[in-house]
Amino acid sequence: MKTVEFHTCECSEKRAFADRRSAEKALGRAQAKRDRQAQRWENRHPMNRENRIYQCDYGMWHLTKQSRRSYEEGAARLAA
């Protein structure tokens, strides 16, 4: 399988993509892998799978997922 080319960015140590399409491709692959695991043991936490891409101040594209903290805040709101 061909590897999606990525770079580093000045904003963080994260992988950075020069264009949106490369980022979306990488995101799709990451989600496919995660979904296979999710079917086995992560059904109870579907929100953990919400990955997104975003463009940072340096004009590079990064992958991100919902943070654990915001997940817990959402769960607390639901339970209240």
Q: Name the site residues for Zn ion (rule: CB under 5 A).
A: 9, 11, 56, 58, 60
Cα atoms in the 13 Å half-sphere on the side-chain side of 2: 4
Q: Between residues 12 and 37, which has the closer beta carbon with respect to Zn ion?
A: 12
- Give min distance, CB of 17 to Zn ion, in A: 10
Shortest gap between Cβ of 44 and Zn ion (angstroms)? 32
Least Å distance, CB 9 to Zn ion, is 3
Residues ≥6 apart with Cβ < 8 Å to 63: 14, 15, 23, 26, 27, 30, 51, 52, 53
Which residue's CB is nearer to Zn ion, number 11 or number 75?
Answer: 11
What six digits make up the tokens of 63? 């992958």
Cβ atoms of 22 and 29 closer than 8 Å: no
Q: Which is nearer to Zn ion, 29 or 58 (CB)?
A: 58
